[in-house]
Structure 1
Amino acid sequence: MKVTRRNALTLAAAAFAGSACRTPVAAETAPMAPAAPDPSTIILPDRANFSPKGIYLNSGSQHPFSKPASASLDAYIKHRAAFDPASDYSLNSDGPIEKFARLVNADPSEITYVQSTTAGEQAIVRSLGLPEQGAKIVTDSLHFFGSFPLYGELERQGYEVSWVKAVDGRIRLEDLDRAITPGTKLVSLSLVSTVNGFEHDLKAVCDLAHSRGALVYADIIHAAGCVPVDLHASGVDFAATATYKWLMGDFGLGFLYVRKGAMEALTRTNYGYYGISTFTTHLYPFDPPGDTPVDYEFSDDAAGWFALGTHAHSVIALLNASLDYILDVRVETIQAHATTLTTRLKEGLKSQGFDVMTPDEARTPIVTAVLENARQRLSPAMKERGITTTLSRNRFRPTVSVFNTMDDVDAFLEATGSI
């Protein structure tokens, strides 16, 4: 029996529970959620399809749901609450995989669901056999700070980790050139930095790393959906993202990309039933005879290597609408709108005397500035004006999206100028 992601849950339940297995969620073949808005009617800033309260400059932390995505989620919740046998509801669980593949120029077979960006990154590290005696890892100071303990622990175990430091808010290719020496197994970075919005030239990094025999992993959570990403053209071997930022989804579900040519470097460390391609039991009534309890094979694709068990259906419902929206509006349009706003933010903050960490040339929706005790000093002004943004201990980071206006930016600059 051939197994796909669509019927894996049904098959596994039947195998372990025989004829008493539960009925799966309705056949997941075609979406029944509300259609995405007609892109010809969408003009950015888009205030018609989003309704955040106050001034929301925090999409780099959590993106508001769009109205079409909320409607799609509501349809899923209504179905789950009732399981109406007369309903023709369909979740379309493979839809987000296929739509995300189009968004980042990858094959759907190279993408599987993961719980989060971090889960994807750590799965790659494990499947590369790390830690491995003599293997070297290169990362940089603008990579996601939540990944620092991963590489810090490998370093504590005695493995060589090279930390490339930022210069003027950028990771310089010449510094990576010096760090990626023969024997380097993995280069791990964030395509767009959560710290300050710096964007790597991913193709240049991959060309350099591959010339030294190293593979490249990219965290793309601050790129997918807001700046153009072409995974095939870049040559990157692995990439991961969660969906709750500019993919406009929610916590608990993300995507892992594994380049077809890079699969040969992996060692299997995951044995999930969502990754199987064939599955035949020899234990239950009317099963065919066999010498083993079960015969199975894993598919030779990203799901076969990394898919585990069930994933968040509620987020799939959101993504089926939000990815339609992004594909229709086009990332290039989203980026152009954001760049207009971030250019004003950079200029305004500099004129107020702030040290802006974000490079002038960055075309990402993130602007970061340094301010000692930023959270304490800026919170009252932001609260007074109804502004939601990221305030850290010694820096602040407004992030923009499709619904933000120049008035939002001016209100933010009024707040920063008041301290």
Structure 2
Amino acid sequence: MIAPLFDPAAFRIAPGIAHLCAAGETPFLRQHDAAFAAYAADKSDGPAGRHRQEAMMESARARAARMFHVAPPDIGFVSSVAEGVSMVVESLDWREGDTVLVDPDEYPSVVAPLTLQRQPKVGLRFAKAADPASFAAAIDGSTRMIGVSAVSFLNAARHDLVALRAAADKVGALLVVDFTQGAGWMPIHVDIADFAFSACYKWVLGCTGVAIAYWNPARQPGWVPSTAGWHSIASMGRPDWSETPPLLPGGARFTRGNPSHLGLYVLDSALTYLEGFAPEVIEAHVQRLTVGLLERLNIAGIPSTTNGSADMDRAADALIAEWRQAGAS
């Protein structure tokens, strides 16, 4: 039996229950109770409490930046991945005939914002993201964007972002990545993307209502969203509405209105917890559990939609050898 990496007692899990659906939603950390209490106290404490709410947002921003290996100013917050992708889609100067390449089984948050894009309508092309050669063959001069999840929600395939980045660069296309199914359990260097997003209620151990957004200023230095709000403009007080107000620099321009401060208190608590474990250790533990489960399902004749990537296959070989050495069947 593999010992837990995270103490089950740290989570709101009923006795006798093994929670196997982190890719869907994780149970709440008990330490988040303190985050709720801190938010309630700060929300009730006037201007001083408001300053503490903003400070908590900056703390969560810094922790998210460390997880993604980028600078804090490049990180912003949106309500969901769907909102973040929509902001990017709405900001682009689309031309007739432009296309976007996605996997036919891509998650709706990445694709749905494109389907309602009008004036002009954006064409969708499909290729299997797990086959970089197929993706590369589907790209041409009309391709404006590749939309992809780093890890598939459907079969857990880890996509080769380096290959997809190279394919996008050949035609000057954007690479927009949803890291939701990888953030929190595998090491991530998000700067391979032009824009990237992650929900926080799964492996990140946070809650709904807040998602992490990333804008790569080195690749897209002139990006400006097509909409704004009081929280994303530089002159929050009394702007001169006769002129277009300047936006906040960096990822802060993603947050048009009040962020989910309560969600950010929870996110800061969650990221604090995750910082107690090296990402490589979490990744190895998750892979060990996964290949062990897949092996037992295979022995029992139970099919699974989960794919085995090359690194998981290596982990599986090592784990099976360990079982055989121990006399396990």
Deviation at residue 74 of structure 1 after TM alignment: 2.6
Identify the residue that residue 58 of structure 2 maps to in structure 1: 94
Deviation at residue 293 of structure 1 after TM alignment: 6.5
SS in 2 for 1:187: strand
Identify the residue that residue 45 of structure 2 maps to in structure 1: 83
CA contact (8 A) 1:281 1:294 kept: no
Task: State which structure, 1 or 2, has the greater radius of gyration over its C-alpha atoms.
Answer: 1
> How do 1:341-352 residues align onto structure 2 when only pairs under 5 Å count?
341-352=289-300
SS in 1 for 2:77: strand
Relative to 1, partners in 2 of residues 1:63 and 1:207: Cα closer, same or farther, differing over 3 Å?
same
1:187 aligned to 2:146? yes
* Residues matched between the structures, number: 306
CA contact (8 A) 2:130 2:160 kept: no
Q: Distance in 2 between matches of 1:139 and 1:75?
A: 42
CA contact (8 A) 1:199 1:362 kept: no
Which structure is higher in strand share?
Answer: 1
Identify the residue that residue 233 of structure 2 maps to in structure 1: 276
Q: Distance in 2 between matches of 1:363 and 1:201?
A: 12
CA contact (8 A) 2:22 2:202 kept: yes
CA contact (8 A) 2:81 2:211 kept: yes
CA offset digits 1:32-51 (Å, max 9, x no partner):
xxxxxxxxxx9714224223
Identify the residue that residue 259 of structure 1 maps to in structure 2: 216
Identify the residue that residue 44 of structure 1 maps to in structure 2: 5
> How do 1:69-148 residues align onto structure 2 when only pairs under 5 Å count?
69-80=32-43, 82-83=44-45, 90-91=52-53, 92-130=56-94, 132-148=95-111
Relative to 1, partners in 2 of residues 1:362 and 1:96: Cα closer, same or farther, differing over 3 Å?
farther
Q: Distance in 2 between matches of 1:155 and 1:354?
A: 45
Q: Which amino acid aligns with 1:104?
A: F
Unaligned runs of 5+ in 2: 313-329
Q: Which amino acid aligns with 1:271?
A: A
Deviation at residue 301 of structure 1 after TM alignment: 1.7
Deviation at residue 104 of structure 1 after TM alignment: 0.6
CA offset digits 1:202-229 (Å, max 9, x no partner):
1221122112211100011111111111
> How do 1:12-411 residues align onto structure 2 when only pairs under 5 Å count?
44-53=5-14, 54-80=17-43, 82-83=44-45, 90-91=52-53, 92-130=56-94, 132-153=95-116, 159-165=122-128, 171-232=130-191, 235-264=192-221, 266-278=223-235, 281=238, 296-304=245-253, 306-361=254-309
Relative to 1, partners in 2 of residues 1:154 and 1:294: Cα closer, same or farther, differing over 3 Å?
closer
TM-score normalised by L of structure 1: 0.66
SS in 2 for 1:261: coil
Q: Which amino acid aligns with 1:215?
A: L
CA contact (8 A) 1:279 1:297 kept: no
CA contact (8 A) 1:273 1:307 kept: no
CA contact (8 A) 2:35 2:269 kept: yes
Identify the residue that residue 323 of structure 2 maps to in structure 1: none
Relative to 1, partners in 2 of residues 1:158 and 1:327: Cα closer, same or farther, differing over 3 Å?
same
Q: How big is the alpha-carbon RMSD for the aligned residues of Structure 1 and Structure 2? A: 3.0
Q: Distance in 2 between matches of 1:173 and 1:292?
A: 48
Unaligned runs of 5+ in 1: 1-41, 283-290, 365-419
Q: Distance in 2 between matches of 1:190 and 1:68?
A: 30
Q: Which amino acid aligns with 1:65?
A: F
CA contact (8 A) 1:142 1:190 kept: no
CA offset digits 1:146-200 (Å, max 9, x no partner):
54444444599754321114xxxx6201101101112311000101111111111
Q: Distance in 2 between matches of 1:84 and 1:159?
A: 47
Q: Which amino acid aligns with 2:246?
A: E
Relative to 1, partners in 2 of residues 1:362 and 1:223: Cα closer, same or farther, differing over 3 Å?
farther
Identity of aligned residues (%): 25
Deviation at residue 363 of structure 1 after TM alignment: 6.0
SS in 2 for 1:58: coil
Q: Distance in 2 between matches of 1:281 and 1:151?
A: 35
TM-score normalised by L of structure 2: 0.83
SS in 2 for 1:204: helix
Relative to 1, partners in 2 of residues 1:160 and 1:294: Cα closer, same or farther, differing over 3 Å?
closer
SS in 1 for 2:177: strand
Q: Distance in 1 between matches of 2:236 and 2:264?
A: 26
Q: Distance in 1 between matches of 2:180 and 2:33?
A: 21
Q: Which amino acid aligns with 1:310?
A: N
